[in-house]
Amino acid sequence: MTTPLPHRAIAILRAVAAGRAELTDSREPDLRVDGLPCCDQAMAHDLVHAGLVVAARSTSTWMPARLTPSGERALAEAGPPPAQRPAA
């Protein structure tokens, strides 16, 4: 993705980085966060197709999601979550 990521995409990347997300291994993967379906499956598809998130290989239907190096860079560029930003 070459444009700045929307807040929802950043939130999804943070959930993946924290180990809270799972993906199905399909052309249009479904995403769960904390065991619940993600509210924006289209955004999840966009992140996978952009190469920011992948499913770790396993034998189960739902697999842990992980960030790619590009996903890690995108998350780093987004900066810390709002609660962790220094007060202005």
Q: What is the extent of the structural domain holding 51?
A: 7-75
What's the confidence (pLDDT) of residue 4? 84
Asked whether residue 35 is domain-assigned, the answer is yes
Structural domain count, the chain = 1
Asked whether residue 32 is domain-assigned, the answer is yes
What's the confidence (pLDDT) of residue 1? 46
Asked whether residue 21 is domain-assigned, the answer is yes
How far, CA to CA in Å, does 34 sit from each of 78, 86, 87?
22, 28, 30
Asked whether residue 82 is domain-assigned, the answer is no
Residue pLDDT, tens place only, 7-66:
999 999 999 999 999 999 888 899 999 999 999 999 999 999 999 999 887 667 899 999
